[in-house]
Amino acid sequence: MFPESYAVLVVGDPGAGMFEFCCYLGATYLKAGGKVVFLEANTSPHRVRKQMLEFGVDATEHEEDRSLMLIDARTLPSAQDRDPSALGVGDVSSLSEIFEVVTGGIEKVGGKPVSTIIDSLTPLYMHHDSSAMGQFFRDLTTMARYNGPMTAVVHKGILDEDQIALLASIADGLLEMVVDENFRRFVRIKHLKGTKVTPKWVPFEFERGETEREGTVLIWSHHSGKRAESEESEM
């Protein structure tokens, strides 16, 4: 979906569907025969598998054939519910260890090209300041440009504008997602390095596909909604 050597930052409201988008993206890469490293810092690997299944991909099968590596950057090593099938991070507050586990995951799926997905960077700000997170994200983008595309998520309203602006200045692309007062979702590509884009808000939703094998699909509208137009004048 994104250029092979690009690092794209996804910024959105809580509830805008960013977790679903990450799982959809991973499922799309796997359906196309690609390899995926999926770092989850918000929820469990089990929920990632369940959501990917909604998109028509059995994540367990891809874990078994080493085309998918899930990384648990949320659960403490001592927790009884730690997922034995996912790569674990010994110290979830250590950025250097998280980076090493991600690079290890890339090696385990057989190296480049591999798509890296990070859901999300937001919880890591509990342990680190903007400077440390900026350097961490810069290291991740450097790695991504060598191995394949990377998509990383952050939450608007939880991080401040300066924190997000620093990450956006490092990324090759910026995608924004919002949800309005009527729970309608909108998305726009605000910036994509080397590509001319029209940063226009368009509605999107996840809907059941025509076949069971297809699963749930992402539907992008070709026209903007009223909420989207008013948001564009505000942002």
What ranges do the domains of the chain cover? Answer: 7-234
pLDDT value at position 5?
86
pLDDT value at position 196?
87
Stated pTM of the model: 0.89
> DSSP code of 128?
S
Give the residue ranges of the chain where pLDDT is below 50. 226-235
Q: What CATH number should be reported for the domain whose range is 7-234? A: 3.40.50.300
pLDDT value at position 114?
96
**DSSP bridge partners of 174:** 9, 191
pLDDT value at position 226?
45
pLDDT value at position 79?
78
Q: Which residues of 110-146 are buried (b: 16+ CB within 10 A; e: fewer)?
A: eeeebbbbbbbbbebbeebebeebbebbbbbbebbee
pLDDT value at position 209?
56
17: left (phi over 0), alpha (psi -120 to 50) or beta: left
Pairing type for strands 36-40 and 68-72 reads parallel
Distance CA 212, CA 210 (A): 7
